[in-house]
Amino acid sequence: MSGGLLVAGTTSDAGKSVVTAGICRWLVRQGVKVAPFKAQNMSLNSFVTRDGAEIGRAQAMQAQACRVEPTALMNPVLLKPGGERSSQVVLLGRPVGEMSARGYHGGRQERLLGTVLDSLAELRATHDAVICEGAGSPAEINLRRTDIVNMGIARGAGLPVLVVGDIDRGGVFASFFGTVALLAPEDQALVAGYLVNKFRGDVSLLEPGLDMLHGLTGRRTYGVLPFRHGLGIDEEDGLRVSLRGTVRESAVAPPVGEDVLRVAVCAVPLMSNFTDVDALAAEPGVVVRFVDRPEELADADLVIVPGTRGTVRALQWLRERGLADAIARRAAERRPVLGICGGFQLLGEHIEDEVESRAGHVDGLGLLPVRVRFAREKTLTRPVGTALGERVEGYEIHHGVARVAGGDPFLDGCRVGQTWGTHWHGSLESDGFRRAFLREVAAAAGRRFVPACDTSFAALREEQLDRLGDLIEHHADTDALWRLIESGAPRGLPFVPPGAPA
Protein backbone atom coordinates (compact mmCIF):
# COMPACT_ATOMS: atom_id res chain seq x y z
CA MET A 1 0.00 0.00 0.00
CA SER A 2 1.33 3.45 -0.87
CA GLY A 3 1.71 6.33 1.54
CA GLY A 4 -1.02 8.82 2.28
CA LEU A 5 -1.97 11.88 4.29
CA LEU A 6 -5.15 13.81 5.04
CA VAL A 7 -4.76 17.59 5.25
CA ALA A 8 -7.58 18.80 7.51
CA GLY A 9 -8.25 22.32 8.75
CA THR A 10 -9.47 24.04 11.87
CA THR A 11 -11.97 25.94 9.68
CA SER A 12 -12.98 26.45 6.09
CA ASP A 13 -10.36 28.55 4.25
CA ALA A 14 -7.62 27.59 6.71
CA GLY A 15 -5.42 26.80 3.72
CA LYS A 16 -6.09 23.12 3.10
CA SER A 17 -6.20 23.44 -0.69
CA VAL A 18 -2.94 25.38 -1.01
CA VAL A 19 -1.13 23.20 1.55
CA THR A 20 -2.27 20.08 -0.29
CA ALA A 21 -1.05 21.54 -3.59
CA GLY A 22 2.22 22.59 -1.98
CA ILE A 23 2.88 19.15 -0.53
CA CYS A 24 2.05 17.59 -3.89
CA ARG A 25 4.47 19.86 -5.74
CA TRP A 26 7.21 19.28 -3.12
CA LEU A 27 6.79 15.51 -3.41
CA VAL A 28 6.81 15.39 -7.20
CA ARG A 29 10.02 17.41 -7.21
CA GLN A 30 11.54 14.65 -5.06
CA GLY A 31 10.66 12.09 -7.71
CA VAL A 32 7.57 10.78 -5.91
CA LYS A 33 4.61 9.66 -8.01
CA VAL A 34 1.81 11.48 -6.20
CA ALA A 35 -1.91 12.19 -6.70
CA PRO A 36 -4.39 14.54 -4.97
CA PHE A 37 -7.72 13.42 -3.55
CA LYS A 38 -10.79 15.09 -2.09
CA ALA A 39 -13.61 12.71 -1.29
CA GLN A 40 -16.34 15.34 -1.36
CA ASN A 41 -16.12 18.87 -2.66
CA MET A 42 -18.79 21.58 -2.57
CA SER A 43 -17.96 24.03 -5.33
CA LEU A 44 -19.35 25.98 -8.25
CA ASN A 45 -15.90 26.07 -9.81
CA SER A 46 -15.45 22.82 -11.69
CA PHE A 47 -13.37 21.36 -14.50
CA VAL A 48 -13.77 18.70 -17.19
CA THR A 49 -11.24 15.88 -17.44
CA ARG A 50 -10.00 14.50 -20.77
CA ASP A 51 -12.57 11.68 -20.58
CA GLY A 52 -15.48 14.05 -19.91
CA ALA A 53 -15.82 13.84 -16.11
CA GLU A 54 -16.63 16.86 -13.95
CA ILE A 55 -14.50 17.50 -10.84
CA GLY A 56 -13.65 20.47 -8.63
CA ARG A 57 -11.17 22.94 -10.11
CA ALA A 58 -9.08 22.82 -6.94
CA GLN A 59 -8.44 19.12 -7.52
CA ALA A 60 -7.60 19.80 -11.17
CA MET A 61 -5.02 22.34 -10.04
CA GLN A 62 -3.66 19.93 -7.43
CA ALA A 63 -3.30 17.35 -10.20
CA GLN A 64 -1.26 19.92 -12.11
CA ALA A 65 0.87 20.34 -8.98
CA CYS A 66 1.45 16.57 -9.20
CA ARG A 67 2.14 16.83 -12.96
CA VAL A 68 -0.54 14.25 -13.72
CA GLU A 69 -3.80 14.34 -15.66
CA PRO A 70 -6.84 14.94 -13.41
CA THR A 71 -9.38 12.12 -13.19
CA ALA A 72 -12.76 11.60 -11.54
CA LEU A 73 -11.08 9.38 -8.92
CA MET A 74 -9.47 12.49 -7.45
CA ASN A 75 -12.85 14.00 -6.55
CA PRO A 76 -15.48 11.23 -6.56
CA VAL A 77 -18.25 13.39 -5.03
CA LEU A 78 -18.85 16.97 -6.17
CA LEU A 79 -21.76 19.02 -4.82
CA LYS A 80 -22.81 22.02 -6.92
CA PRO A 81 -25.07 24.37 -4.93
CA GLY A 82 -28.28 25.42 -6.62
CA GLY A 83 -29.38 27.58 -3.70
CA GLU A 84 -29.10 27.73 0.06
CA ARG A 85 -30.60 24.26 0.64
CA SER A 86 -30.00 22.06 -2.39
CA SER A 87 -27.17 20.91 -4.62
CA GLN A 88 -26.60 18.88 -7.73
CA VAL A 89 -24.75 15.70 -6.81
CA VAL A 90 -21.98 14.74 -9.25
CA LEU A 91 -20.75 11.19 -8.67
CA LEU A 92 -17.52 10.04 -10.33
CA GLY A 93 -17.79 12.93 -12.76
CA ARG A 94 -21.45 12.51 -13.74
CA PRO A 95 -24.54 14.31 -12.35
CA VAL A 96 -26.93 11.94 -10.59
CA GLY A 97 -29.60 14.38 -9.42
CA GLU A 98 -30.52 17.25 -7.11
CA MET A 99 -30.69 16.73 -3.37
CA SER A 100 -31.47 18.82 -0.30
CA ALA A 101 -28.84 19.15 2.42
CA ARG A 102 -31.10 17.26 4.81
CA GLY A 103 -31.61 14.44 2.33
CA TYR A 104 -27.90 14.20 1.57
CA HIS A 105 -26.72 14.18 5.18
CA GLY A 106 -29.71 12.09 6.17
CA GLY A 107 -28.40 8.94 4.50
CA ARG A 108 -27.13 9.42 0.95
CA GLN A 109 -23.72 10.70 2.03
CA GLU A 110 -23.05 7.75 4.32
CA ARG A 111 -23.85 5.30 1.50
CA LEU A 112 -21.18 6.93 -0.66
CA LEU A 113 -18.36 6.03 1.73
CA GLY A 114 -17.70 2.76 -0.12
CA THR A 115 -17.39 4.57 -3.46
CA VAL A 116 -15.05 7.13 -1.91
CA LEU A 117 -12.83 4.50 -0.29
CA ASP A 118 -12.70 2.48 -3.51
CA SER A 119 -11.61 5.58 -5.46
CA LEU A 120 -8.90 6.32 -2.93
CA ALA A 121 -7.70 2.70 -2.95
CA GLU A 122 -7.46 2.76 -6.75
CA LEU A 123 -5.32 5.90 -6.63
CA ARG A 124 -3.10 4.47 -3.90
CA ALA A 125 -2.55 1.31 -5.92
CA THR A 126 -1.04 3.31 -8.79
CA HIS A 127 0.86 6.05 -6.92
CA ASP A 128 3.61 6.26 -4.33
CA ALA A 129 1.58 8.72 -2.27
CA VAL A 130 -1.90 10.25 -2.24
CA ILE A 131 -2.39 13.60 -0.49
CA CYS A 132 -6.01 14.01 0.56
CA GLU A 133 -7.77 17.26 1.38
CA GLY A 134 -10.50 17.47 3.97
CA ALA A 135 -13.43 19.89 4.02
CA GLY A 136 -14.43 22.44 6.61
CA SER A 137 -13.36 21.12 10.00
CA PRO A 138 -13.00 17.48 11.14
CA ALA A 139 -14.61 18.52 14.45
CA GLU A 140 -18.06 19.22 13.00
CA ILE A 141 -19.68 16.98 15.61
CA ASN A 142 -23.16 17.37 14.15
CA LEU A 143 -22.00 15.73 10.89
CA ARG A 144 -19.48 13.16 12.14
CA ARG A 145 -21.80 10.15 11.82
CA THR A 146 -22.13 10.60 8.06
CA ASP A 147 -18.71 12.13 7.39
CA ILE A 148 -16.91 10.81 4.30
CA VAL A 149 -14.39 13.61 3.72
CA ASN A 150 -12.57 14.18 7.03
CA MET A 151 -12.21 11.62 9.83
CA GLY A 152 -14.56 9.21 8.07
CA ILE A 153 -12.12 8.80 5.19
CA ALA A 154 -9.08 8.98 7.51
CA ARG A 155 -10.36 6.16 9.67
CA GLY A 156 -11.65 4.14 6.73
CA ALA A 157 -8.28 4.29 4.96
CA GLY A 158 -5.99 4.51 8.00
CA LEU A 159 -4.62 7.93 7.00
CA PRO A 160 -2.57 10.16 9.31
CA VAL A 161 -4.06 13.64 9.68
CA LEU A 162 -2.29 17.00 9.62
CA VAL A 163 -4.43 19.88 10.91
CA VAL A 164 -3.86 23.29 9.26
CA GLY A 165 -4.70 26.51 11.09
CA ASP A 166 -4.76 30.08 9.73
CA ILE A 167 -2.96 32.15 12.37
CA ASP A 168 -3.76 35.35 10.48
CA ARG A 169 -7.34 35.00 11.70
CA GLY A 170 -6.29 34.71 15.34
CA GLY A 171 -7.13 32.01 17.89
CA VAL A 172 -5.03 29.34 16.22
CA PHE A 173 -3.92 27.63 19.47
CA ALA A 174 -7.49 27.34 20.74
CA SER A 175 -8.54 26.09 17.31
CA PHE A 176 -5.86 23.39 17.24
CA PHE A 177 -6.63 22.25 20.79
CA GLY A 178 -10.40 22.35 20.33
CA THR A 179 -10.25 20.43 17.05
CA VAL A 180 -8.46 17.50 18.68
CA ALA A 181 -10.45 17.66 21.92
CA LEU A 182 -13.77 17.30 20.08
CA LEU A 183 -12.78 14.07 18.31
CA ALA A 184 -13.47 10.51 19.44
CA PRO A 185 -10.46 8.54 20.75
CA GLU A 186 -10.27 6.49 17.54
CA ASP A 187 -10.15 9.70 15.47
CA GLN A 188 -7.67 11.40 17.78
CA ALA A 189 -5.28 8.49 17.31
CA LEU A 190 -4.89 9.52 13.65
CA VAL A 191 -4.24 13.23 14.25
CA ALA A 192 -0.45 13.46 14.12
CA GLY A 193 -0.02 17.20 14.54
CA TYR A 194 -0.37 20.70 13.20
CA LEU A 195 0.74 23.09 10.46
CA VAL A 196 0.51 26.84 11.05
CA ASN A 197 -0.44 28.86 7.97
CA LYS A 198 -0.03 32.58 7.17
CA PHE A 199 2.33 33.55 10.00
CA ARG A 200 3.70 37.10 10.01
CA GLY A 201 6.78 38.04 12.01
CA ASP A 202 9.47 36.31 14.05
CA VAL A 203 8.86 32.57 14.41
CA SER A 204 10.83 32.51 17.69
CA LEU A 205 7.97 34.46 19.29
CA LEU A 206 5.57 31.67 18.30
CA GLU A 207 7.68 28.75 19.48
CA PRO A 208 6.76 28.90 23.22
CA GLY A 209 3.10 28.53 22.25
CA LEU A 210 3.88 25.58 19.99
CA ASP A 211 5.80 23.94 22.83
CA MET A 212 2.85 24.46 25.20
CA LEU A 213 0.46 23.05 22.57
CA HIS A 214 2.69 19.98 22.31
CA GLY A 215 2.60 19.59 26.08
CA LEU A 216 -1.19 19.91 26.17
CA THR A 217 -1.98 17.55 23.29
CA GLY A 218 1.13 15.41 22.81
CA ARG A 219 1.26 16.44 19.16
CA ARG A 220 4.00 18.36 17.38
CA THR A 221 3.86 21.14 14.82
CA TYR A 222 5.21 20.12 11.41
CA GLY A 223 5.86 23.62 10.14
CA VAL A 224 5.06 27.33 10.22
CA LEU A 225 4.29 28.73 6.77
CA PRO A 226 4.86 32.48 6.39
CA PHE A 227 2.24 34.82 5.01
CA ARG A 228 2.75 35.39 1.29
CA HIS A 229 0.70 37.74 -0.90
CA GLY A 230 -0.77 36.40 -4.11
CA LEU A 231 -0.60 32.71 -3.26
CA GLY A 232 -3.53 30.43 -3.92
CA ILE A 233 -5.09 28.03 -6.35
CA ASP A 234 -8.49 28.05 -8.03
CA GLU A 235 -11.05 28.80 -5.36
CA GLU A 236 -13.84 26.43 -4.49
CA ASP A 237 -16.74 28.53 -3.34
CA GLY A 238 -18.33 30.74 -5.98
CA LEU A 239 -21.04 31.80 -3.55
CA ARG A 240 -18.67 34.00 -1.55
CA VAL A 241 -17.49 36.21 -4.39
CA SER A 242 -21.05 37.05 -5.42
CA LEU A 243 -21.44 39.11 -2.23
CA ARG A 244 -20.41 42.73 -2.40
CA GLY A 245 -17.55 43.55 -0.04
CA THR A 246 -15.85 40.18 -0.44
CA VAL A 247 -15.20 40.30 -4.17
CA ARG A 248 -11.66 39.87 -5.38
CA GLU A 249 -9.61 42.74 -6.79
CA SER A 250 -6.79 41.87 -9.15
CA ALA A 251 -3.24 43.06 -8.56
CA VAL A 252 -2.29 45.13 -11.59
CA ALA A 253 1.14 45.07 -13.22
CA PRO A 254 2.13 48.22 -15.14
CA PRO A 255 0.63 48.35 -18.64
CA VAL A 256 2.75 47.78 -21.72
CA GLY A 257 0.88 50.49 -23.63
CA GLU A 258 -0.27 53.90 -22.48
CA ASP A 259 -3.60 52.80 -21.00
CA VAL A 260 -4.93 50.18 -18.64
CA LEU A 261 -7.96 48.10 -19.61
CA ARG A 262 -10.83 47.94 -17.11
CA VAL A 263 -12.87 44.73 -16.89
CA ALA A 264 -16.10 44.58 -14.86
CA VAL A 265 -17.45 41.11 -14.03
CA CYS A 266 -21.11 40.97 -13.02
CA ALA A 267 -21.23 39.10 -9.70
CA VAL A 268 -24.37 37.13 -10.58
CA PRO A 269 -25.98 34.72 -8.08
CA LEU A 270 -24.56 31.17 -8.06
CA MET A 271 -21.60 32.38 -10.10
CA SER A 272 -19.66 29.40 -11.45
CA ASN A 273 -16.17 29.15 -12.89
CA PHE A 274 -15.40 32.78 -12.13
CA THR A 275 -11.78 31.61 -12.50
CA ASP A 276 -12.34 32.28 -16.24
CA VAL A 277 -11.21 35.87 -15.60
CA ASP A 278 -7.97 34.94 -13.82
CA ALA A 279 -6.13 34.88 -17.14
CA LEU A 280 -7.26 38.46 -17.80
CA ALA A 281 -6.13 39.55 -14.33
CA ALA A 282 -2.70 38.08 -15.08
CA GLU A 283 -2.22 40.44 -18.03
CA PRO A 284 -0.13 43.56 -17.28
CA GLY A 285 -2.39 46.60 -17.29
CA VAL A 286 -5.70 44.73 -17.05
CA VAL A 287 -7.79 45.69 -14.01
CA VAL A 288 -10.45 43.11 -13.08
CA ARG A 289 -13.16 43.78 -10.53
CA PHE A 290 -16.47 42.17 -9.61
CA VAL A 291 -19.49 44.49 -9.58
CA ASP A 292 -23.18 44.43 -8.69
CA ARG A 293 -24.43 47.97 -9.59
CA PRO A 294 -25.11 49.48 -13.02
CA GLU A 295 -23.06 52.62 -12.36
CA GLU A 296 -19.99 50.41 -11.91
CA LEU A 297 -20.18 49.51 -15.60
CA ALA A 298 -19.81 53.11 -16.74
CA ASP A 299 -16.00 53.20 -16.91
CA ALA A 300 -15.55 49.55 -17.87
CA ASP A 301 -13.90 48.78 -21.21
CA LEU A 302 -15.22 45.21 -21.10
CA VAL A 303 -18.18 43.79 -19.19
CA ILE A 304 -18.25 40.03 -18.58
CA VAL A 305 -21.39 38.11 -17.63
CA PRO A 306 -19.88 34.91 -16.21
CA GLY A 307 -21.14 31.39 -15.82
CA THR A 308 -23.84 30.63 -13.29
CA ARG A 309 -25.58 27.58 -11.88
CA GLY A 310 -28.85 29.53 -12.12
CA THR A 311 -29.21 31.20 -15.53
CA VAL A 312 -32.83 32.31 -15.06
CA ARG A 313 -32.15 33.49 -11.52
CA ALA A 314 -29.13 35.47 -12.73
CA LEU A 315 -31.22 37.03 -15.49
CA GLN A 316 -33.84 38.15 -12.96
CA TRP A 317 -31.08 39.53 -10.70
CA LEU A 318 -29.59 41.56 -13.57
CA ARG A 319 -33.01 43.05 -14.32
CA GLU A 320 -33.84 43.83 -10.69
CA ARG A 321 -30.55 45.70 -10.20
CA GLY A 322 -30.70 47.66 -13.44
CA LEU A 323 -27.65 45.86 -14.79
CA ALA A 324 -29.62 44.32 -17.66
CA ASP A 325 -30.53 47.77 -19.01
CA ALA A 326 -26.95 48.97 -18.60
CA ILE A 327 -25.62 45.94 -20.51
CA ALA A 328 -28.21 46.48 -23.28
CA ARG A 329 -27.14 50.13 -23.62
CA ARG A 330 -23.52 49.04 -23.90
CA ALA A 331 -24.38 46.58 -26.65
CA ALA A 332 -26.31 49.25 -28.57
CA GLU A 333 -23.31 51.58 -28.28
CA ARG A 334 -21.01 48.79 -29.54
CA ARG A 335 -19.08 48.69 -26.29
CA PRO A 336 -17.63 45.22 -25.53
CA VAL A 337 -19.69 42.63 -23.63
CA LEU A 338 -18.70 38.97 -23.22
CA GLY A 339 -21.07 36.27 -21.98
CA ILE A 340 -19.62 32.93 -20.88
CA CYS A 341 -21.76 29.79 -20.47
CA GLY A 342 -24.81 30.88 -18.42
CA GLY A 343 -23.86 34.48 -19.20
CA PHE A 344 -23.95 33.63 -22.90
CA GLN A 345 -27.35 31.96 -22.55
CA LEU A 346 -29.02 34.94 -20.90
CA LEU A 347 -27.72 37.30 -23.62
CA GLY A 348 -29.88 35.37 -26.10
CA GLU A 349 -33.50 35.83 -27.16
CA HIS A 350 -35.32 33.01 -25.39
CA ILE A 351 -34.64 30.38 -22.70
CA GLU A 352 -36.73 27.24 -22.31
CA ASP A 353 -35.92 25.78 -18.92
CA GLU A 354 -37.74 22.81 -17.42
CA VAL A 355 -34.54 21.45 -15.85
CA GLU A 356 -32.54 23.99 -13.84
CA SER A 357 -35.11 26.58 -12.69
CA ARG A 358 -38.22 24.86 -14.12
CA ALA A 359 -39.39 28.35 -15.12
CA GLY A 360 -40.46 27.28 -18.60
CA HIS A 361 -40.27 30.00 -21.26
CA VAL A 362 -38.26 33.09 -20.26
CA ASP A 363 -37.23 36.02 -22.44
CA GLY A 364 -33.50 36.69 -22.50
CA LEU A 365 -31.83 40.05 -22.98
CA GLY A 366 -32.13 39.70 -26.77
CA LEU A 367 -28.59 40.87 -27.53
CA LEU A 368 -27.57 37.75 -29.45
CA PRO A 369 -29.62 35.69 -32.01
CA VAL A 370 -29.62 32.62 -29.78
CA ARG A 371 -32.36 30.40 -28.38
CA VAL A 372 -31.56 28.10 -25.47
CA ARG A 373 -33.30 24.92 -24.37
CA PHE A 374 -32.20 23.17 -21.19
CA ALA A 375 -31.57 19.44 -21.60
CA ARG A 376 -31.51 16.93 -18.75
CA GLU A 377 -28.22 15.51 -20.00
CA LYS A 378 -25.28 17.75 -19.10
CA THR A 379 -22.73 18.68 -21.76
CA LEU A 380 -19.21 17.90 -20.50
CA THR A 381 -16.54 18.31 -23.19
CA ARG A 382 -13.02 19.66 -23.83
CA PRO A 383 -13.35 21.43 -27.22
CA VAL A 384 -10.50 22.79 -29.33
CA GLY A 385 -10.97 25.34 -32.11
CA THR A 386 -9.88 28.66 -33.57
CA ALA A 387 -11.10 32.23 -33.12
CA LEU A 388 -9.63 35.57 -34.16
CA GLY A 389 -7.03 33.59 -36.08
CA GLU A 390 -5.72 31.83 -32.96
CA ARG A 391 -5.96 28.31 -31.55
CA VAL A 392 -8.27 28.06 -28.54
CA GLU A 393 -8.81 25.31 -25.95
CA GLY A 394 -11.65 25.28 -23.47
CA TYR A 395 -14.13 23.12 -21.58
CA GLU A 396 -17.93 23.03 -21.46
CA ILE A 397 -20.19 22.36 -18.46
CA HIS A 398 -23.85 23.16 -19.12
CA HIS A 399 -27.39 21.85 -19.46
CA GLY A 400 -28.45 24.60 -21.85
CA VAL A 401 -28.35 23.77 -25.57
CA ALA A 402 -27.93 26.89 -27.70
CA ARG A 403 -29.30 27.25 -31.23
CA VAL A 404 -27.44 30.09 -32.93
CA ALA A 405 -29.47 31.76 -35.72
CA GLY A 406 -27.22 34.58 -36.88
CA GLY A 407 -24.31 36.82 -36.06
CA ASP A 408 -20.68 36.06 -36.79
CA PRO A 409 -19.32 32.71 -35.54
CA PHE A 410 -17.40 32.86 -32.27
CA LEU A 411 -16.19 29.51 -30.86
CA ASP A 412 -19.46 27.58 -30.31
CA GLY A 413 -21.49 30.79 -30.00
CA CYS A 414 -21.64 34.03 -31.93
CA ARG A 415 -20.78 37.71 -32.04
CA VAL A 416 -22.94 40.71 -32.94
CA GLY A 417 -21.04 43.98 -33.04
CA GLN A 418 -19.05 44.02 -29.82
CA THR A 419 -21.28 41.54 -27.98
CA TRP A 420 -19.74 38.08 -27.77
CA GLY A 421 -21.04 34.81 -26.37
CA THR A 422 -19.69 31.28 -25.89
CA HIS A 423 -20.17 28.24 -23.67
CA TRP A 424 -16.41 27.69 -23.53
CA HIS A 425 -14.86 28.10 -20.11
CA GLY A 426 -11.09 28.54 -19.97
CA SER A 427 -10.76 29.99 -23.47
CA LEU A 428 -8.95 33.08 -22.17
CA GLU A 429 -6.14 30.86 -20.89
CA SER A 430 -5.06 30.40 -24.54
CA ASP A 431 -2.43 33.13 -24.74
CA GLY A 432 -2.64 34.04 -28.44
CA PHE A 433 -6.43 34.18 -28.41
CA ARG A 434 -6.51 36.21 -25.21
CA ARG A 435 -4.14 38.80 -26.69
CA ALA A 436 -6.15 39.00 -29.93
CA PHE A 437 -9.39 39.40 -27.98
CA LEU A 438 -7.92 42.14 -25.78
CA ARG A 439 -6.70 44.01 -28.85
CA GLU A 440 -10.27 43.96 -30.21
CA VAL A 441 -11.64 45.19 -26.88
CA ALA A 442 -9.05 47.97 -26.62
CA ALA A 443 -9.79 49.16 -30.16
CA ALA A 444 -13.55 49.20 -29.54
CA ALA A 445 -13.07 50.98 -26.21
CA GLY A 446 -10.69 53.54 -27.68
CA ARG A 447 -7.94 52.58 -25.26
CA ARG A 448 -4.24 52.70 -26.09
CA PHE A 449 -3.79 49.38 -24.36
CA VAL A 450 -1.28 46.87 -25.71
CA PRO A 451 -1.28 43.21 -24.51
CA ALA A 452 2.10 41.96 -23.34
CA CYS A 453 3.68 39.73 -25.97
CA ASP A 454 5.22 37.30 -23.48
CA THR A 455 2.53 36.59 -20.87
CA SER A 456 2.13 32.84 -20.56
CA PHE A 457 -0.75 31.94 -18.27
CA ALA A 458 0.38 28.31 -18.06
CA ALA A 459 3.88 29.42 -17.01
CA LEU A 460 2.43 31.77 -14.38
CA ARG A 461 0.35 28.93 -12.98
CA GLU A 462 3.41 26.66 -12.84
CA GLU A 463 5.33 29.41 -11.08
CA GLN A 464 2.53 29.68 -8.54
CA LEU A 465 2.60 25.95 -7.86
CA ASP A 466 6.38 26.03 -7.48
CA ARG A 467 6.04 28.82 -4.92
CA LEU A 468 3.66 26.62 -2.94
CA GLY A 469 6.14 23.75 -3.14
CA ASP A 470 8.89 26.11 -1.95
CA LEU A 471 6.81 27.05 1.11
CA ILE A 472 6.62 23.40 2.16
CA GLU A 473 10.26 22.68 1.33
CA HIS A 474 11.63 25.70 3.21
CA HIS A 475 9.23 26.05 6.13
CA ALA A 476 8.00 22.55 7.00
CA ASP A 477 9.91 19.67 8.58
CA THR A 478 9.93 17.67 5.36
CA ASP A 479 11.77 14.67 6.84
CA ALA A 480 9.09 14.33 9.51
CA LEU A 481 6.38 14.98 6.95
CA TRP A 482 7.65 12.20 4.69
CA ARG A 483 7.80 9.75 7.66
CA LEU A 484 4.18 10.65 8.37
CA ILE A 485 3.13 10.03 4.77
CA GLU A 486 5.09 6.78 4.55
CA SER A 487 4.44 5.23 7.98
CA GLY A 488 1.23 6.81 9.29
CA ALA A 489 0.45 8.57 12.55
CA PRO A 490 2.86 7.98 15.45
CA ARG A 491 1.75 5.29 17.91
CA GLY A 492 0.72 6.15 21.42
CA LEU A 493 -0.64 9.63 20.81
CA PRO A 494 -2.43 10.73 24.01
CA PHE A 495 -6.18 11.23 24.29
CA VAL A 496 -7.21 14.86 24.80
CA PRO A 497 -10.44 15.12 26.83
CA PRO A 498 -13.35 15.49 26.61
CA GLY A 499 -13.51 13.84 23.17
CA ALA A 500 -16.57 13.71 20.95
CA PRO A 501 -19.97 13.96 22.70
CA ALA A 502 -21.91 10.73 22.97
Per-residue pLDDT at 255 = 85
Per-residue pLDDT at 239 = 35
Q: Which amino acid is at 438?
A: L
d(CA 485, CA 6): 9
Q: Considering only CA atoms, which of 30, 28, 73 is closest in space to residue 55?
A: 73
Residue 486 has pLDDT above 90, yes or no: yes
The percentage of the chain sitting over the pLDDT mark of 70, rounded to a whole number, equals 93
Angle 170-45-168 from CA coordinates, rounded to 5°: 10
Residue 52 has pLDDT above 90, yes or no: yes
d(CA 4, CA 119): 14
The percentage of the chain sitting over the pLDDT mark of 90, rounded to a whole number, equals 84
d(CA 236, CA 222): 26
d(CA 98, CA 310): 13
Burial category of 134 from C-beta neighbours within 10 Å (exposed 0-12, middle 13-18, buried 19 and up): buried
Instruction: Give the CA count within 13 Å in the CB-facing half-sphere of 234.
Output: 27
Per-residue pLDDT at 107 = 61
pLDDT tens-place string over residues 142-169: 989 889 999 999 999 999 999 999 999 9
The model's confidence at residue 246, banded by pLDDT at 50, 70 and 90, is very low
Cα 320 to Cα 232, 300, 501: the distances in Å are: 34, 20, 47
What are the two backbone dihedrals, phi and then psi, of residue 391, each rounded to the nearest 5 degrees?
Answer: -75, 140
Tell me how far apart the terminal alpha carbons of the chain are, to the nearest angstrom. Answer: 34
Alpha helices in 67-171 (DSSP H): 101-103, 109-111, 113-126, 151-157
d(CA 380, CA 54): 7
The model's confidence at residue 84, banded by pLDDT at 50, 70 and 90, is low
- Which residues belong to the active site? 341, 425
The answer to whether 192 and 37 have CB atoms below 8 angstroms apart is no
Per-residue buried b or exposed e for 224-248, using 16+ beta carbons within 10 Å of the residue's own CB: bbeeeeebbbbbbebbebbeeeebb
Helix axes 207-217, 172-181, angle to 10 degrees: 10
Per-residue pLDDT at 82 = 82
The answer to whether 116 and 6 have CB atoms below 8 angstroms apart is no
Per-residue pLDDT at 2 = 81
Residue 493 has pLDDT above 90, yes or no: yes
d(CA 358, CA 12): 32
Q: Considering only CA atoms, which of 255, 250, 287, 253 is closest in space to residue 450?
A: 255
To which H or E segment does residue 353 belong? strand 350-353
Q: What is the mean pLDDT of residues 302-312?
A: 96
The model's confidence at residue 250, banded by pLDDT at 50, 70 and 90, is very low
What are the two backbone dihedrals, phi and then psi, of residue 265, each rounded to the nearest 5 degrees?
Answer: -105, 120
The model's confidence at residue 111, banded by pLDDT at 50, 70 and 90, is confident
